[in-house]
Chain A
Amino acid sequence: MTTSATPQAPALARRFRRRPLTPVNVVQRVLAYTLLVLMVLFCLVPFAWVVFSSVDGHAGPNVQLPALSFDNFIRFFTSAGTPMLLVNSLIIGIGGTALNLILGVAGGYALARFAFKGRRAFMFSILLIRVIPAPATIVALYLIMVNLQLTNTLVGLILVEAVLQLPVTLWLLKGTISAVPIELEEAAWVDGNTRLQAIRRVVLPLIGPGLGAAAMLTFMGIWGDFLTPLVMLQSQELYPLSIGLFRAFSDYNHVDWGLLAASAIVYVVPPAVLYIFVRKHLLKSSLGGAVKG
């Protein structure tokens, strides 16, 4: 994470500790910690309302000390509309991730193991595709989906979401599969496996970490998406959490603040937990820059 990887760092730190601090050093450190505290306050204070209100029986639109109760969460899971939001989000997220990974492993294998014409061009094109802002193609995509009769269906949304995340998955898995020595596969072929059997028995068990990273990035991307479901889905019973939260918030006069906050917490938990796992892979991958958002 920091300079501790270099051999000089511990020595430096030790020298700092032994030498009495000069006044300049003291001022420097006080300033640094003040800046850090301010920065962390800036980052965390906005969350106060969501966190407090979710466990507040009398939640309102403003931050207040909660009258501690888990009533909001109970209502989230028992009331008529809200559990459906979570179920839809899970169907879209898991379905999209599964489809994305199947396409990604197959394609990544082809890109890693075969030197075919246009491979480089393909890799760079999908990297360039990654920079296209979603709002710039959403209109035409919507019309195409209307013609395919896939709007307002979860299947259509799953398909689109899986493909939108596919360029990143292909890059990640191409790199991971390239790192598996081809000799292992060759040994499997000699033992009488077909190429596809060798992929299943040798390659798949060895690319676990890369596969996990790709799965989590894809899932988080789909889970957090707002624009695509907003455009593609019209029926209320198909809404995922993102759209459900937006509709509940926009209903100006009848906002149930406690329920809204509890829904937000339910919505945040999966990506927050996944991020803790994915972080190491994210920082290591050469694609670190291509996976924002």
Chain B
Amino acid sequence: MTTSTSAPTRAATAPQPSPLRRRRPRRTWPFVLLLLGPGAVLIVVFIVVPALYGAYLSFTNTQLTGFAARDPKFVGIDNYTYLLSSSDFLASLGQTGQFVLFSAIIGQTVLGMVAAILLSRPWVRGKGLWGAAVLMPMIVPEVVASLTWASVLSNNSEGTLNRLTGLFGADPTSWLQVVPMVSIIIVNIWRGVAFAMIMFQAALEDVPVDLIEAARIDGARAVQIFRHITLPLIRGPVFLYLLLTTISTVGVFGLVYFLTQGGPGGATRLAAIYIYQRALQFAQIGIGSAASMILLALVLVLGLVYVRLSKVEV
């Protein structure tokens, strides 16, 4: 656009420090309040206040129904001590950890990197089509993503995966009952490969081609080039991606809830599902809120690191 051409002219003709500071403060505030005020207030009401209110609720025994619903009491850290000694909740945190580690940090990252590298080869034909196919799982709404996998993991002998394993002579398995955790991990890998691929493609673009060429002429094999040249150069973006995918994977709810509803026997009750069930199905708002706060604390630490490291310009 015209920004780049007009900026130097302005610097030459206008002695003022910057257009932002030209207006006097007393004329600035009414405009800022008028324009940004409504949005900021709504963000506070619907995002910040819930977080603070949740913190308050986590110290009470609030319930949606029953005696405690009428007269919620302050119970100190009882909810937290209950949760941290509850094997259900600790198991749920552990499952969330497993889910994040295997689906996001390992699965999506490795497959996304493979896809990005393959599609960066100059001789690969039809890059747009390959890329579009990989993007499909990410574009569809999460309910549809779950629905597609419900048919793949179907427990009868005609289910897609059972037919595939049947080719090798295996008996039909009800995947979501026998290996529920593995199943939802694979579903989430499937959903997230595209995002990893996009992030890594952008990073790979910034790696100078001459460096790769030089190493190749020096006789380095492809694996060595990747290990000693490409990887160190894209370490920053990869690390940022890992933080980001960890944060967003902790928040996955619909994808898993649709398929398993936390079952069988709580085997896929991720922290997000634990909170939903406790607070809104069993009506124990206090305990659900305490679980929310524990989850929030974990994510906010990662989020702060992300915001610090991403070095976005304001």
A interface, CB within 8 angstroms of B: 1-6, 8-9, 12-13, 16, 28-29, 32-33, 35-36, 39-40, 42-50, 61-64, 103-104, 106-107, 109-111, 113-116, 119-120, 122-124, 126-129, 131-144, 159-160, 162-164, 166-167, 170, 179-183, 195, 223-224, 226-227, 230-231, 241-242, 245-246, 249, 260, 264, 267-268, 271-272, 275, 283, 286-290, 292-293
Contacts and interface: CB of A to CB of B under 8 A. Distances in A.
B87 interface: no
Given A32-B124, A249-B258, A8 B35 contact: no
Given A43-B136, A267-B141, A140 B57 contact: yes
16 contacts: A2-B122, A39-B193, A46-B190, A50-B144, A107-B35, A109-B35, A110-B36, A115-B28, A135-B272, A136-B251, A139-B285, A140-B57, A180-B3, A181-B3, A181-B6, A289-B199
A177 B169 CA distance: 62
Interface size range of chain B in the complex: 35 or more
Interface stretch (B37-45, B77-85, B176-184): B37-45
A131 B299 contact: yes
A223 B144 CA distance: 12
B46 interface: yes
B292 A137 contact: yes
Main secondary structure of the interface of A (DSSP, over half): helix
Interface of B: 1-3, 6-7, 10, 18-21, 23, 25, 28-29, 31-32, 34-36, 38-40, 42-43, 45-51, 53-54, 57, 111, 114-115, 118-124, 127-128, 130-131, 133-137, 139-144, 147-152, 154, 156, 158-160, 163, 190, 193-195, 198-199, 201-202, 204-205, 209-210, 213, 222, 240-241, 244-245, 247-248, 250-251, 253-254, 257-258, 271-273, 275-276, 279-280, 285, 288-289, 292-293, 295-296, 299-300, 302-304, 306-307, 310, 312-314
Shortest Cβ-Cβ A-B pairs, 6 listed: A133-B251, A226-B254, A49-B151, A131-B303, A224-B141, A135-B272
A61 B149 CA distance: 11
Contact of B143 (A126, A134, A245): A245
Given A124-B307, A231-B280, A267-B144, A36 B35 contact: no
Contacts of A242: 141, 143, 254
Given A103-B39, A133-B295, A47 B136 contact: yes
A268 B144 contact: yes
With a 10 A CB-CB cut-off, give which of A5, A103, A137, A268 has the most chain B CB atoms: A137
A9 to B, nearest CB: 6
A62 B160 contact: yes
B3 A179 contact: yes
